[in-house]
Amino acid sequence: MFTDPSEAPNGILNTRRFGPAPQNPDPEEEIEVYTDGSCHGNGAADAKCGSGIWYGQDDDRNTSTKVGPPLPLTNNTGELIAVLESIQQNKSAKRLKIASDSQYTIEALTKHSQTWLSKGLIGVKNPEIVSAILGEILATSTEVRLRKVKGHSGDTGNDGADMLANAGANKTVPDKIDLTMSGVIRAMGAKTNSLTQAQAYRLMMRHKAVGERTRTTRMMTRTRAAIEASTGVDLPPETVWKSLRIRKKGTISQKFSVFAWKSLHEGHKIGVFWKHFKPERLICQPCNAPIEDLNHILTECRTSGQETIWKLAQRAWGATGLPWPEISLERILGVGNIVVKNDQGKVLEGRTRLLRIIVSESAYLAWLDRCEWRIGREQNPLRLHTKKEITAQWKSIIGRRFRIDWALTNKAAFGKRALRHAEVKRTWKGLTMANNDKMLRDDIFAEGVLVGNGGRACQRRPPGRNR
What is the Cα–Cα distance from 136 to 180, expressed in whole angstroms?
9
The confidence score (pLDDT) of residue 396 equals 92
Model confidence at 4, in pLDDT bands (50, 70, 90)? low
The confidence score (pLDDT) of residue 445 equals 65
What is the Cα–Cα distance from 156 to 33, expressed in whole angstroms?
12
Say yes or no to pLDDT of 100 above 70: yes
Which carries the bigger pLDDT value, residue 1 or residue 270? 270
40-44, 59-63, 456-460, range with the lowest pLDDT: 456-460
- Mean per-residue pLDDT over the chain, rounded: 84
| Cβ atoms < 10 Å from Cβ of 320 | 19
What is the Cα–Cα distance from 248 to 397, expressed in whole angstroms?
20
Say yes or no to pLDDT of 463 above 70: no
Average pLDDT on 356-380 reads 93
How much of the chain, in percent, has pLDDT values that exceed 90?
A: 41
Going by CATH, does the domain composed of 8-187 fall within 3.40.50.150? Answer: no
Model confidence at 52, in pLDDT bands (50, 70, 90)? very high
The confidence score (pLDDT) of residue 446 equals 53
What is the Cα–Cα distance from 362 to 313, expressed in whole angstroms?
7
Q: In this predicted model, what pLDDT tens digit does every residue of 284-325 receive, in sequence order?
A: 888 888 999 999 999 999 888 999 999 999 999 999 999 999
Q: What pTM value is reported for the model? A: 0.73
Model confidence at 2, in pLDDT bands (50, 70, 90)? low
45-59, 167-181, 190-204, 419-433, range with the lowest pLDDT: 190-204
CB under 8 A, 24+ apart: contacts of 105-112: 105/35, 105/76, 105/79, 105/80, 105/146, 106/146, 106/147, 106/148, 108/80, 109/83, 109/133, 109/134, 109/137, 109/146, 110/146
Give the residue from 219, 213, 220 showing the smallest Cα distance to 239.
220
Helix/strand/coil for 68: coil
Average pLDDT on 435-452 reads 65
Where are the alpha helices (H) located in 265-386, listed in sequence order?
294-299, 306-318, 329-333, 349-371
What is the Cα–Cα distance from 295 to 200, expressed in whole angstroms?
37
Say yes or no to pLDDT of 116 above 80: yes
Model confidence at 458, in pLDDT bands (50, 70, 90)? very low
The confidence score (pLDDT) of residue 195 equals 81
Average pLDDT on 379-396 reads 91
Q: In this predicted model, what pLDDT tens digit does every residue of 130-140 receive, in sequence order?
A: 999 999 988 88
Upstream peptide bond of 70 is cis (omega within 30 degrees of 0): yes
The confidence score (pLDDT) of residue 306 equals 93
- Which residues, in sequence order, are CB contacts of 119 under 8 Å at separation 6+? 190, 191, 194, 195, 199
- Alpha-carbon distances of 288 from 249, 329, 404, 424, rounded to whole Å: 41, 20, 40, 43
Say yes or no to pLDDT of 21 above 80: no
Domain boundaries, the chain: 8-187, 225-459
Element (H, E) at 143: strand 143-148
Element (H, E) at 33: strand 26-40
Q: In this predicted model, what pLDDT tens digit does every residue of 206-261 receive, in sequence order?
A: 777 667 789 999 999 999 999 998 888 888 888 899 888 887 777 899 999 999 99
What is the Cα–Cα distance from 56 to 60, expressed in whole angstroms?
9
Q: At what angle do helices 214-231 and 254-264 cross, to 10 degrees?
A: 120
The confidence score (pLDDT) of residue 454 equals 39
Type of residue at 237: P
